C-alpha cells in the first residue's frame, strides 16, 4: 500500500485535512422534543476553534446543494415536496404518506430543506476537493437513512449516497463505505447493494430500528453487516476493526474510504445501548486514514450534546494531527459548560473538562467472535 500511495504523491497536499461546516446548524433545530434539537456541529466548530485546530485554510463553509444536484439520487418529486414543505411550513396528509415528511421523526421545521441541502452540499464539495486525493471532514453529514423518494429516520436527504455518487462521477472508482453508527445504514445499503465497485461495512446494534442489516444480509455480496449486542465495548470494536473492517477494506484496495462516524454508539447516548468510549471512534478513524488516497469522514447520529461534541472534536484532532489535551483550556470548557439538555440526566464533570473518555475495555463476547468468523469466511 505504501508504494501505491507514493505513486499518488501530492494527495496529502491536495486537500486537507479540511473541515467543512456551516452556521446553519447553530441557528436551526428539529424543534420540540426531537432528539436532534441538541446542538452538535456548532459545538464541534466552537471546540475546534477554542483549541486552535481550525487554522487558515482548514475550514470551508458548506455550500447549499442546488435542488437539481440532489436528483443525483433523490426523485425530483421528492425534492420539490421537501422545498414546498419548507416554504409552506406544513404538509398535506398525502405528502406525509408518500414522502415521510411531517412525521414525528421527520418533522416540518423552518430549515427542513436548507439544512439537509447544506449537509449534502458540504459532502458534495468534499467529493470535489478529494478529486485528486486528501482528507475531508463533514460532521454535518452522515444522514444514512434517507431514501430516494422519502425522508426516513431523522434524515431528509442521504448525503453519504450523494457524496459517493459525486465521487464516482468525478472518476473515483472503488469506494469503501464504513459505518459505525449505532443504527444500520439502510439507505446507503439500498443505494449500493450489489455494486461490485463499492464495499459496504456496517457495525450497528442488533434488534434496533431500522431492523435491517442482519448478519446474513450481504446485499448480493458487497455488504458486510455486523450486528452487535448491548454493551458493545472498546475491546469488541477493536476486534471488529482488526477482524472485519481493516482486512476487508485493505483487500478491496479502494480509491476512496468514506466513514460514517455516528456518535450514538458512545455509552452516554440516550438512543442506543452500546457502550463505546470515544477512543473507539478515534481508533477507527486513525486506522482507516491511510488505506486509500481519499478519506471522507462524516458525522451521523449522536443525541447527547456533550458526547457528540467531544467525540467529533476528537475525530477532527485525529484527522488534523492535533494532540488531545488531558484537560481542556478554559475557552473550550466554556463551550461545553454552555450546553443545555432537555433530558433529566445531569452532565458529568468530565464532560466539561476533557475530550477523551476513559477507555471502556471488556471481554470480547463469544457471539461477536462467532459473527466475525462467519463474515471472515465469506
Nearest distance in Å: CB 272, Zn ion: 7
Lay out the site mask for Zn ion across 183-202 (x = CB under 5 A, - = otherwise): x-------------------
Nearest distance in Å: CB 26, Zn ion: 22
Q: Look at the block and give the residue holding cell 450486528.
A: 227
Which positions ≥6 away from 215 have C-beta within 8 Å?
225, 226, 227, 371, 374, 375
Nearer to Zn ion, 95 or 298 (CB): 298
Nearer to Zn ion, 91 or 261 (CB): 261
**End-to-end CA separation in angstroms for the chain:** 23
DSSP assignments along 157-179, one per residue: S-HHHHHHHHHHHTT---EEEEE
Binding flag, residue 236, Zn ion (CB under 5 A): no
Rg (CA), the chain: 19
Q: Where does this chain touch Zn ion (CB under 5 A) — which range of 231-239, 248-256, 275-283, 301-309?
A: 301-309
Binding flag, residue 142, Zn ion (CB under 5 A): no
Give me the helix-helix angle, 159-169 and 114-129, nearest 10°. 30
Instruction: Decide if 145 is catalytic.
Output: yes
- Ramachandran assignment for 294, one of left (phi > 0), alpha (psi -120 to 50 degrees), beta (any other): beta
Binding flag, residue 264, Zn ion (CB under 5 A): yes
Nearer to Zn ion, 155 or 332 (CB): 155
Report the 10 Å Cβ neighbour count for 278. 28
Between the alpha carbon of residue 188 and those of residues 124, 334, 338, the distances in Å are 15, 37, 35
Nearest distance in Å: CB 265, Zn ion: 8
Nearer to Zn ion, 36 or 130 (CB): 36
Q: Where does this chain touch Zn ion (CB under 5 A) — which range of 30-38, 156-164, 194-202, 297-305?
A: 297-305
Lay out the site mask for Zn ion across 64-103 (x = CB under 5 A, - = otherwise): ----------------------------------------
Give me the helix-helix angle, 278-288 and 305-320, nearest 10°. 30
Q: Where does this chain touch Zn ion (CB under 5 A) — which range of 32-40, 167-175, 225-233, 254-262?
A: 254-262
Which residue is at the shortest CB distance from Zn ion?
A: 301
Binding flag, residue 262, Zn ion (CB under 5 A): yes
Q: Where does this chain touch Zn ion (CB under 5 A) — which range of 2-10, 215-223, 227-235, 298-306?
A: 298-306
Nearer to Zn ion, 70 or 182 (CB): 182
- Please give the Cα distance from 335 to 345 (Å, whole number): 19
Nearest distance in Å: CB 182, Zn ion: 5
Q: Considering CB under 5 A, how many residues would be counted as binding Zn ion?
A: 6
Binding flag, residue 294, Zn ion (CB under 5 A): no
Binding flag, residue 181, Zn ion (CB under 5 A): yes
User: Which phi and psi angles does 253 have, rounded to 5°?
Assistant: 50, 60
- Please give the Cα distance from 251 to 247 (Å, whole number): 6
292 close to 258: Cβ distance less than 8 angstroms = no
Nearer to Zn ion, 210 or 359 (CB): 210
Nearer to Zn ion, 147 or 172 (CB): 147
Report the 10 Å Cβ neighbour count for 366. 8
Closest CA to 328 of 315, 307, 310: 310
Binding flag, residue 301, Zn ion (CB under 5 A): yes
SS3 288: helix
Residue in 74, 99, 144, 145 annotated catalytic: 145
Nearest distance in Å: CB 300, Zn ion: 6
Instruction: Give the count of alpha carbons within 13 A of 89, CB side only.
Output: 2
Provide the binding-site residues for Zn ion, judged by CB under 5 A: 181-183, 262, 264, 301
Catalytic residues: 145
Amino acid at each position: 500500500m505504501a508504494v501505491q500511495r507514493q505513486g499518488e504523491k501530492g494527495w496529502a497536499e491536495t486537500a486537507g485535512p479540511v473541515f467543512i461546516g456551516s452556521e446553519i446548524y447553530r441557528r436551526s433545530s428539529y424543534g420540540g422534543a426531537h432528539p436532534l434539537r441538541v446542538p452538535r456541529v456548532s459545538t464541534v466548530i466552537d471546540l475546534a476553534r477554542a483549541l486552535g485546530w481550525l487554522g487558515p485554510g482548514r475550514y470551508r463553509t458548506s455550500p447549499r446543494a442546488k435542488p437539481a444536484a440532489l436528483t443525483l439520487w433523490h426523485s425530483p418529486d421528492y425534492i420539490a415536496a421537501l422545498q414546498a414543505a419548507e416554504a409552506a411550513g406544513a404538509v398535506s396528509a398525502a405528502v406525509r404518506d408518500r414522502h415521510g415528511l411531517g412525521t414525528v421523526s421527520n418533522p416540518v421545521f423552518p430549515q427542513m430543506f436548507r439544512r439537509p441541502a447544506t449537509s449534502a452540499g458540504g459532502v458534495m464539495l468534499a467529493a470535489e476537493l478529494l478529486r485528486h486525493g486528501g482528507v475531508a471532514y463533514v460532521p454535518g453529514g452522515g444522514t444514512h437513512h434517507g431514501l430516494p423518494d422519502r425522508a426516513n429516520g431523522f434524515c431528509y436527504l442521504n448525503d453519504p449516497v450523494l457524496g459517493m455518487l459525486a465521487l464516482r462521477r468525478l472518476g473515483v472508482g472503488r469506494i469503501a463505505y464504513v459505518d459505525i453508527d449505532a443504527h444500520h445504514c439502510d439507505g446507503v445499503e439500498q443505494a449500493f447493494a450489489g455494486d461490485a465497485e463499492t464495499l459496504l461495512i456496517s457495525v450497528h446494534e442488533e434488534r434496533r430500528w431500522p431492523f435491517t442489516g442482519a448478519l446474513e444480509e450481504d446485499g448480493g455480496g458487497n455488504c458486510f453487516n455486523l450486528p452487535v449486542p448491548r454493551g458493545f465495548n472498546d475491546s469488541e470494536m477493536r476486534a471488529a476493526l482488526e477482524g472485519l473492517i481493516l482486512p476487508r477494506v485493505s483487500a478491496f484496495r479502494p480509491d476512496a474510504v468514506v466513514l460514517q462516524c455516528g456518535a450514538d454508539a458512545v455509552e452516554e447516548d440516550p438512543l442506543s445501548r452500546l457502550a463505546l468510549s470515544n477512543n473507539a471512534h478515534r481508533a477507527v478513524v486513525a486506522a482507516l486514514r491511510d488505506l486509500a488516497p481519499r478519506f471522507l469522514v462524516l458525522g451521523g447520529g449522536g443525541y447527547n450534546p456533550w458526547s457528540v461534541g467531544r467525540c467529533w472534536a476528537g475525530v477532527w484532532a485525529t484527522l488534523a494531527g492535533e494532540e488531545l489535551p488531558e484537560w481542556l483550556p478554559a475557552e473550550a470548557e466554556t463551550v461545553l459548560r454552555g450546553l443545555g439538555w432537555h433530558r433529566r440526566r445531569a452532565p458529568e464533570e468530565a464532560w466539561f473538562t476533557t475530550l477523551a473518555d476513559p477507555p471502556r475495555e471488556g471481554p470480547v463476547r463469544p457471539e461477536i467472535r462467532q459473527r466475525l468468523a462467519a463474515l471472515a469466511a465469506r
